[in-house]
Amino acid sequence: MIRLGTRGSALALAQSGTVADAVRQLGHQVELVEISTAGDRSSAPVAQLGVGVFVSALRDALLAKEIDFAVHSFKDLPTAPADGLSVVAVPGRADPRDALVSRDSLSLAELGPGARIGTGAVRRIAQLNALGRGLIAVPIRGNVDTRLRKVADGELDAVVLARAGIARLGRADEITETLDPLLMLPAPAQGALAVECRADDVELLELLAALDDPFTRAAVTAERTLLAELEAGCSAPVGALAEVAEGDDGPEIYLRGAVFSPDGSQTIRLSRTGTLADPAEVGRALARDLRDEGADQVMGESQ
């Protein structure tokens, strides 16, 4: 029996269940082991909790051999590699875009000044502010059900969430609008999962590698390298989205990246195209471009 470590939230269980089913289809038995993380036990904003707050307990359990592998939302992982562990597979990505769930099925354009929109991400708050439409971004925490209930109960006019999470919970029909990345650029690696195990577990490494989708891995590598090069954490006001498309000489990566001031008053958006053979270099190059345009100052960094 292979032990798969997972957070206990409905979304984490749904994501882990998908990976567990894929491993079972390879002919192996899988047991889900729930691990409580500091992020699950705290009601503080993610930006205050720090990078990796949903990840460290799972990684500790892996290193202690209490579980054999873990499934993470890739956007929650720190960009620095973890000693003794390997992200062995990045399965095919779900829709990476953000989604709006609003009262009365109002689109983002139809929500007027003073509309209260809930989100826990500094990146989303900055982009809502950047629209200049008088929308009020309300910082919230909690699982998907809790956030959607705030709209149903009338506490908020709308919430913005990752579309992938809503869909994985079977609630995609409640989405009012899937937001164009030109309006709301997603977080790096949003919609992607990371399958992680011990680097010395050769047998399991070989087994889980079958779950890897090379195009998804290339895309999130470009996005996360951009984030790392900007020395920003997963809660920073940075958006990125890479797509793999057919170019003149084979598949290419098209990477869009943006940095925002927290109040949305300043935004830098740029893009880069590069070879699929070195997605990390695409991310590094775009990070250099953004820095040249003043990204550090926009994000409030003192470097």
- Catalytic residue numbers, as ranges: 76
CB 294 within 8 A of CB 230: no
Q: What is the DSSP code string of 117-166? A: EEE--HHHHHHHHHT-S--EEEE--S-HHHHHHHHHTTS-SEEEEEHHHH
CB 160 within 8 A of CB 117: yes
Q: Is 132 exposed, middle or buried (0-12, 13-18, 19+ CB in 10 A)?
A: exposed
Does the CA dihedral 108-109-111-117 come out positive or negative?
Answer: positive
Closest C-alpha among 241, 213, 215, 243 to residue 227 = 241
CB 209 within 8 A of CB 271: no
HSE at residue 288, side-chain half, CA atoms within 13 A, is 7
Question: What DSSP character marks residue 193?
Answer: E
User: What are residue 268's DSSP bridge partners?
Assistant: 259
Give the number of other Cβ atoms within 10 Å of residue 235's Cβ.
Answer: 21
Distance CA 257, CA 271 (A): 6
